[in-house]
C-alpha cells in the first residue's frame, strides 16, 4: 500500500530511518470509516474487487483523503466521485442514504470535504423536482423519507431548500412530516432530547408558518416531557403567530392532559394568548399608521381568538380543581373591548361558578371581573339578573343597565336591543317613534273636536234658559275642561317626561258638586285660543 498511500509511505519512512530492517507499526485510530473503509482501501491497492454503495461512498472518500491516496490516475477518490455522479446522488433515496452516512464520527471529515453539503443539496434538488413532476403516489411521499435523517442533517436539507427558493408549502410539508415521524418513532427515554433537537431546527415563522394544530401537539409534548424553557418559549411564540388559525379543539388538546380529564397547561396557554394580543396590538398600531385596509382584518382576527378563548374557558371551567387565578388568567388574557358581546364569556363564568359552589362573595366577584355586564345581550342580562350564583354586584349592574335602556330607548326586547346597534335597527326604531307620535296627534285632534262639540252644546243650552250668568259660567266650565284635557294630552307628548314625574300638575282643577268647575288660575300665565 506504500506506493498508493502517501500517509503510509511517510509513516514507514519515519519509522525505518534509524533501522531499515525494523518492524513498522502504524496507528490508524483516526481513519474515517474505521476498519471497513480501510479494508476496501487495501482491496483497491491490491487490485481486488470491492463494492461502492450509497452507504459507504462518503466513508471511502474520507478514507482516501486521510490516507492521501492521490496517484496520477486519481485513485480511489476518483472512483467514488464517479459513483456519486452516476448513481449515488441521482435519486432521492440514495442521496438521503449518502447524507445519513455522513452523520456520527464521519461528520467532521465529511464537512471538511464538502460531502455532507453536496448530499444535502442533492436531496433538496430531488425534492423540488418531485414537487414539480411527481414520480410516485402520493405526491408527498418524499416527506416520509426525511424521517431517516438526524436533526442536524435535516437542518442542512432545509437550508438547501431555502437556497433553492422552495415554496412555503414545501417547507411546511417537510418540517411537519419530519417532526411527526421522528417523534412518533422516538423512544420515551430520549423523547425530550429528540423533541428539543427537532424544535431547534424548525423553520422560522417568516420562512414557513407551521400549522397551529401541529404546534399545539409539539407544545403539549414539550410541557409533558418537561422540555427546556427555551424550547417551550420558542413553541409558544410560534403558536402565538398563527393563533387565529387554530381552533378551540386544538387549544383544548394542548391544555388538557393525555386522558383529557385534568387541565395542566393553563400558564403556557395564557402566555400564548398574551403573546398573540401583544403581537396584534403592535400590528394594529402599524396598520393604523399606514392607513391601510388591513386594520379590519386585524380586528377580525382578535375577535376570532376572543371567541375561541371563551369556548376554551367554558371547557376548562368544569375542572373542579382549577384555581380561580388560572381561570381568570386564561379568560382575561384577551382585552374586554376585543369582544363584541360577552355572552360566551358569561357562559364560561356561570359554568365555573356552578362547578365551584363553595366560593364566597369576594371570590365570585373575582371570577366575574373578567366580563362586563353592560356588554351582555338582553337575554343574557335577563338570565344574569335571576342567577343566584352571581355576586350581588353583577346582578345589580345588569338590572341597572336594563333600567337605563328602558328609560333612554324605551325598548325591552332582545331583537330591539340588537337592532339599536345597527343602522337598519335605528331606522326601525325611528319609524316606531314616528308612528307613536302620529297616534298621539290623532288623539289630540279627536280631543279638540270633542271639546268644540261640548262648547257648542253648552252655548245652545244657555240661549234656551235666558240666563246670561249661567251661560257665562257654563262656557267658563267648558273652557276649563278643555284646557285640562289639552294639558293632559300635551303632557303625554313631553319628551322629558319620565313616568309622569316631570309633567305639570293639573290637580288644581277640580269639579264642583253642582257640575261647575272651580278653576285655580296659574300665576303669570296667559292663555289664548286663536
Residue 171: is its pLDDT beyond 50?
yes
Q: Is the pLDDT of residue 68 over 50?
A: yes
Cell 513498522 found at: 24
pLDDT at 432: 63
Asked if the model's pLDDT at residue 446 lies above 50, the reply is yes
Range in 218-222, 342-346, 448-452 with the lowest mean pLDDT? 448-452
What is the Cα–Cα distance from 202 to 211, expressed in whole angstroms? 12
pLDDT at 188: 52
As a whole number, mean pLDDT of residues 22-39 equals 86
Average pLDDT, the chain: 78
Degrees to nearest 5, angle at CA 503 with 499 and 505? 120
Q: From 370, 405, 412, select the one nearest 390 (Cα to Cα).
A: 370
pLDDT recorded at residue 47: 85
State the pLDDT confidence band at 393, using cuts at 50, 70 and 90. confident
Report the candidate in 83, 11, 16 with the shortest Cα–Cα distance to residue 44.
83
Q: Stretch 266-287: mean pLDDT, rounded?
A: 83
pLDDT at residue 202 is higher than 70: yes
- CB neighbour list of residue 506: distance below 8 Å, 6 or more residues apart: 484, 487, 488, 491
**What does the pLDDT read at residue 490?**
45
Taking alpha carbons only, the member of 136, 220, 143, 142 closest to residue 181 is: 143
DSSP codes of every residue in 466-516 = T-HHHHHHHHHHHHHHHHHHHHHHHHHT-TT-STTTTSPP-TT-EE-TTS-
What is the reported pLDDT for 203? 83
Q: Specify the pLDDT at position 271.
A: 94
* 457-474 pLDDT per residue, tens: 655 555 444 444 444 444
Is residue 11 scored above 70 in pLDDT? yes
Range with top average pLDDT, 6-10, 141-145, 162-166, 271-275: 271-275
78-106 pLDDT, tens digit each: 889 999 999 999 999 999 999 999 988 89
Q: Report residue 218 as a C-alpha cell.
A: 409539539
Amino acid at each position: 500500500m506504500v506506493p498508493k498511500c502517501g500517509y503510509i509511505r511517510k509513516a514507514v519512512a519515519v519509522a525505518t530511518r534509524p533501522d531499515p530492517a525494523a518492524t513498522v507499526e502504524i496507528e490508524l485510530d483516526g481513519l474515517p470509516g474505521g476498519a471497513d473503509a480501510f479494508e476496501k482501501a487495501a482491496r483497491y491497492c491490491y487490485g481486488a474487487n470491492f463494492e461502492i454503495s450509497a452507504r459507504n461512498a462518503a466513508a471511502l472518500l474520507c478514507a482516501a483523503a486521510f490516507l492521501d491516496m492521490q496517484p496520477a490516475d486519481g485513485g480511489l477518490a476518483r472512483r467514488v466521485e464517479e459513483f456519486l455522479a452516476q448513481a449515488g446522488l441521482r435519486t432521492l433515496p440514495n442521496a438521503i442514504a449518502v447524507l445519513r452516512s455522513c452523520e456520527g464520527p464521519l461528520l467532521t471529515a465529511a464537512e471538511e470535504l464538502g460531502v455532507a453539503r453536496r448530499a444535502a443539496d442533492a436531496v433538496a434538488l430531488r425534492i423540488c423536482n418531485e414537487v414539480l413532476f411527481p414520480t410516485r403516489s402520493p405526491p408527498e411521499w418524499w416527506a416520509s423519507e426525511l424521517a431517516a435523517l438526524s436533526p442536524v442533517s435535516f437542518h442542512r436539507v432545509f437550508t438547501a431548500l431555502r437556497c433553492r427558493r422552495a415554496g412555503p408549502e414545501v417547507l411546511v410539508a417537510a418540517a411537519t412530516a419530519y417532526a411527526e415521524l421522528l417523534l412518533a418513532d422516538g423512544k420515551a427515554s430520549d423523547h425530550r432530547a429528540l423533541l428539543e433537537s427537532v424544535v431547534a431546527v424548525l423553520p422560522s415563522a417568516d420562512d414557513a408558518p407551521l400549522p397551529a394544530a401541529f404546534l399545539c401537539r409539539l407544545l403539549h409534548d414539550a410541557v409533558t416531557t418537561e422540555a427546556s424553557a427555551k424550547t417551550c418559549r420558542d413553541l409558544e411564540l410560534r403558536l402565538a403567530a398563527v393563533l387565529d388559525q387554530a381552533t378551540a379543539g386544538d387549544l383544548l388538546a394542548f391544555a388538557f392532559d393525555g386522558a383529557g380529564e385534568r387541565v395542566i397547561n393553563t400558564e403556557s396557554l395564557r402566555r400564548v394568548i398574551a403573546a398573540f394580543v401583544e403581537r396584534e396590538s403592535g400590528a394594529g398600531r402599524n396598520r393604523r399608521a399606514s392607513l391601510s385596509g388591513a386594520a379590519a382584518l386585524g380586528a377580525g382576527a382578535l375577535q376570532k381568538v376572543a371567541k375561541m378563548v371563551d369556548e376554551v374557558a367554558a371547557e376548562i371551567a368544569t375542572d373542579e380543581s382549577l384555581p380561580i387565578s388560572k381561570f381568570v388568567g386564561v379568560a382575561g388574557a384577551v382585552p374586554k373591548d376585543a369582544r363584541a358581546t360577552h355572552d360566551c364569556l358569561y357562559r364560561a363564568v356561570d359554568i365555573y361558578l356552578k362547578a365551584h359552589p363553595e366560593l364566597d362573595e369576594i371570590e365570585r366577584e373575582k371570577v366575574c371581573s373578567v366580563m362586563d355586564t353592560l356588554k351582555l345581550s338582553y337575554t343574557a342580562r335577563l338570565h344574569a339578573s335571576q342567577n343566584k350564583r352571581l355576586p350581588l354586584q353583577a346582578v345589580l349592574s345588569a338590572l341597572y343597565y336594563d333600567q337605563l335602556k328602558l328609560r333612554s330607548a324605551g325598548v325591552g326586547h332582545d331583537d330591539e336591543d340588537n337592532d339599536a346597534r345597527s343602522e337598519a335597527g335605528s331606522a326601525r326604531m325611528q319609524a316606531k317613534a314616528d308612528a307613536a307620535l302620529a297616534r298621539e296627534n290623532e288623539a289630540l285632534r279627536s280631543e279638540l273636536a270633542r271639546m268644540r262639540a261640548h262648547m257648542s252644546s253648552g252655548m245652545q243650552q244657555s240661549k234656551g234658559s235666558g240666563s246670561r250668568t249661567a251661560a257665562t259660567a257654563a262656557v267658563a266650565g267648558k273652557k276649563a275642561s278643555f284646557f285640562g284635557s289639552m294639558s293632559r294630552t300635551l303632557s303625554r307628548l313631553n319628551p322629558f317626561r319620565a313616568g309622569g314625574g316631570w309633567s305639570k300638575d293639573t290637580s288644581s282643577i277640580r269639579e264642583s258638586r253642582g257640575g261647575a268647575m272651580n278653576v285655580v288660575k296659574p300665576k303669570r300665565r296667559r292663555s289664548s285660543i286663536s
